[in-house]
Chain A
Amino acid sequence: MSEPVVTARGLTKRYGEAVVVDSLDFDIVKGETFGLLGPNGAGKTTTILMMLGLTEVSAGTVKVAGYDPVRRPLEVKRRVGYLPDLVGFYDHMTAVENLTYTARLMGFARNVREVRIADALARVRLSDVAHRAVATFSRGMRQRLGLAELIMKHAEVAILDEPTSGLDPQSTHEFVDMIGELKREGVTVLITSHLLDQVQRLCDRVALFHGGRILTMGTVPELARQVLGAGFVVDVEAAAAPGKELAPRLGAIAGVTTVQQTGEATYRLTADHDVRAEAARAVVAAEGALTRLSVDNPSLDAIYTRFFEKQTMTDREIRDAA
């Protein structure tokens, strides 16, 4: 394990009585891509703003790139690139002018600035429109321009807040590829997103965030085992022979935790390993007609949905109990 780039210990943010972020503990290791997932209003953006020193920390500590953003915000902001959700630019200025402005704020000398801006725009494929006013840019182009800013900054840590929200599938795809490039260069990336398959593709580790707390954290397979209880979902489509029930037979297979009859002749098994072969054998043994057999790898989508379903259920139970 290499050294952590971001460390949060008991990080808390209160607005009056309301606790928006409730004593977070997490580490992000150098070069890692970390996903922060959770419903809107879970406190993700507030956490990010605290990491940048843009909002006060109520309690606890956070360290980014070795500096405390509360005491040394400039050092932190020099090393961290931030792409806010729905990033904005000055519409009347061109792409290059916009980047020049931020490059100046970063304090780059003119020659460094010009080279880095040209390079960054080429990386996000905006070189052709470098001298067009940003007003004419599409949502996707703006988002890429925001990424160009991080590339130009040579940020050690890139914080991307909902980077692909509001993008069409094509732009999303391109954008995810670009983030992948950043990752390959060794930049530590923190992403918040709702687009779970993108996160799954990019992230080494994921934290599920709800009500200001990290409820669970780990790699996607780890989470699947934790949340779904099993990593594999096998769909079986088979017509049972008359007088013979398939469900109990499928349930008897070793490793299967639940069997759910989802249709007249469809069953969904959850299991701790791939049980397709055993399922096929069971169907054939019962003289059933097997028509389809498929397995789902644990998807973050399923984990997420399942997790927050459970969460709202427990919330309701707590409320009912009270």
Chain B
Amino acid sequence: MRREGSPWQGVGTVLLKELADHFDSVRMLLLALLMVLAAAVPLYSAIEQLKTTTSEDPFLLLKLFNPGGQTLSVVAILGFVIPVMAIGFGFDAINGEHNRRTLSRILAQPIYRDALLAGKFLAGLIVLAVNLICLWLLVVGLGVLQLGVPPSGDEFTRSLVFLIIAIAYAGAWLGMAMLFSVLFRSPATAALLALGVWLFMTLLWPMISPFIAVLISPPDIRYQLLGILDPQTAVWQQALSRISPYLLFEEAVRTILTPTTPSLGPLLDQIRQLRGEVVGAALPLRESLLIAWPQAVGLIAGAIVLFVATYVAFQRQEVRA
């Protein structure tokens, strides 16, 4: 059975209204402030550190985002803050309409439910993208001003790719927040659960997944004696860690932003060493992109899968308050 009319009818209207709401809201202001403040500290320390080594480093701009070593980086901060922002913009998307009792009134207009959901998702994504672009401009601008070295074309492209990956990462979390906003009638429950998943994925999963990998595929005693990782276990470890969007993001961004030490995971590093390649030599952009490709696609796919799940749940939901 084909349905008449376009599912897109009304998306533009919903999108504009939601954007206006977001940009007017205190929530937007607070979340943007949170992001800028959280990023300011690592950015400042990165600039201080880089000032001493300006002449030696070919990738100054990238170092601003991710100085490497043990220092806290803008990227690591973003890995934490982006989910919080995305959850902040998505957790009450649908249940908020329910509770304001506007849902049935809006859906009684000649639009499909698709329009409401898609409009809200796109609006959230655009707001997140605007925030991230602002931050990106801030970092690039500060970098040029403070360090006095204009970025090269290669660096610029890499940082743009980083921006796109960050937006995809935001999209995945936004999708999850909106899924919860459909599943749970109370915004507080949806927000708490979304934050719970966020904590689990970013803090607990990186600690737990290696143990699970060992359980699934116990390392061979010979590798253990040699003190290196069993490749079989390593494969499992990597596969499991990639369930977490945080680790996917981290891996992709690290590959893009650190051309000199592309850590490809313990397994690939070992292989490269065996093949006689020098780990630590700068990779060309194309190679970095190829390596980061699966993770980036994984994030985008995650966002799409979560959106589809939200869509299915919303189509089946009862409208009545």
Asked whether any CB of chain B lies closer than 8 Å to the CB of A91, the reply is yes
- A49 touching B110 in the complex, CB below 8 Å, given contacts A74-B4, A88-B102, A149-B105: no
Residue in contact with A146 in the complex, picked from B1, B10, B17, B105, CB distance below 8 Å: B105
Q: Identify whether the interface residues of B are mostly helix, strand, loop, or mixed.
A: loop
Given contact pairs A55-B318, A77-B111, A107-B9, enumerate 14 new A-B contacts (beta carbons under 8 Å): A46-B320, A52-B108, A54-B108, A73-B3, A74-B9, A84-B108, A84-B321, A89-B100, A91-B100, A102-B105, A104-B10, A105-B111, A106-B110, A107-B10
- A-B interface, 4 closest residue pairs, ranked by CB to CB distance from nearest: A88-B101, A82-B108, A105-B109, A104-B13
What is the distance, in angstroms, from A26's C-beta to the closest C-beta of chain B?
A: 21
Q: How far is the CB of A71 from chain B (nearest CB, A)?
A: 7
Q: B5 an interface residue at 8 Å Cβ cutoff?
A: yes
Q: A234: CB under 8 A from chain B?
A: no
Complex partner residue of B13 from A46, A72, A77, A105, CB under 8 angstroms: A105
- Chain B residues with Cβ below 8 Å from A55 are 318-320
Cβ 8 A contact of A49, one of B4, B14, B109, B319: B319
Could you say which residues of chain A place their CB within 8 Å of the CB of B112?
A: 73-74
Q: Which of A80, A90, A149 contacts B100 (CB 8 A)?
A: A90
Residues of A within 8 A of B57 (CB): none
Residues of A within 8 A of B1 (CB): 71
Q: Is the CB of B105 within 8 A of A84?
A: yes
Which residues of chain B (272-321) have a CB below 8 Å from chain A? 318-321
| Cα A71 to Cα B321 with chains together (Å) | 24
Number of interface residues of A (CB under 8 A): 33
* Interface presence of A201 (CB below 8 A): no
A75 to B320 CA separation, bound complex (whole angstroms) = 21
Contact with A along B250-267 (1 / 0, CB 8 A): 000000000000000000
Determine whether A87 belongs to the interface, using a CB cutoff of 8 Å to chain B.
yes
| Contact residues, A17-73 vs B (CB, 8 A) | 45-46, 49, 52, 54-55, 71-73
A54 to B314, CA, bound (A): 12
How many angstroms from the CA of A146 to the CA of B104 in the assembled complex?
12
Nearest-neighbor residue (CB-CB) of A45 within chain B: B320
Flag if A72 contacts B105 (CB, 8 Å): no
What CA separation (Å) do A80 and B5 show in the bound complex?
17
Is A86 a contact of B109 with CB atoms below 8 Å? no
Q: Is the CB of A110 closer than 8 A to any CB of chain B? A: no
Residue numbers in B under 8 Å from A86 (CB-CB): 101, 321
Task: Report how far A107 CA is from B320 CA in the complex, Å.
Answer: 24
Is B188 engaged at the interface, CB distance under 8 Å to the other chain? no
Q: Is B203 an interface residue (CB 8 A)?
A: no
The distance in angstroms between the C-alpha atoms of A73 and B115, with both chains bound, is 14
Contact check, A74 vs B104: say whether CB atoms are below 8 A apart: no
The number of chain B residues with a CB under 8 A from chain A is 27
Residues of B within 8 Å of A90, CB to CB, are 21, 100, 102
The CA-CA distance from A255 to B1 in the complex, in Å, is 60
| Interchain CA distance A105-B24 in the complex, whole Å | 21
Can you pick out 10 interface pairs between chain A and chain B where the beta carbons lie within 8 Å of each other?
A49-B320, A55-B319, A75-B4, A78-B110, A82-B105, A89-B102, A90-B21, A102-B109, A105-B13, A105-B14
Interface centre among A46, A54, A89 (most CB of B within 10 A): A54
> Which residues of B, 102-146, contact A by the 8 Å Cβ criterion?
102, 104-112
A92, CB-defined interface residue at 8 Å:
yes
Closest CB of chain A to B114's CB: distance in Å?
Answer: 12
Residue of A nearest to B318 (CB): A55
Within 8 A of B (CB), among A79-105: 80-84, 86-92, 101-102, 104-105
Residues in chain B near residue A92, CB distance under 8 A: 21, 24
| Interchain CA distance A153-B102 in the complex, whole Å | 17
Which residues of chain A in 178-195 are interfacial with respect to chain B, using CB atoms and an 8 Å cutoff?
none
CA distance A14 to B170 in the complex (A): 40
B101 touches A87 (CB 8 A): yes
Residues of chain B within 8 A (CB-CB) of A71 are: 1, 3-4
Q: How many Å from the CB of A135 to the closest CB on chain B? A: 11
**Contact across chains for A77 and B102 when beta carbons are under 8 A apart:** no
* Cα separation A56 to B319 with both chains bound (whole Å): 11
Interface 0/1 of A191-216, CB less than 8 Å to B = 00000000000000000000000000
Which listed residue, B101, B110, B318, B321, touches A105 by the CB 8 Å rule?
B110
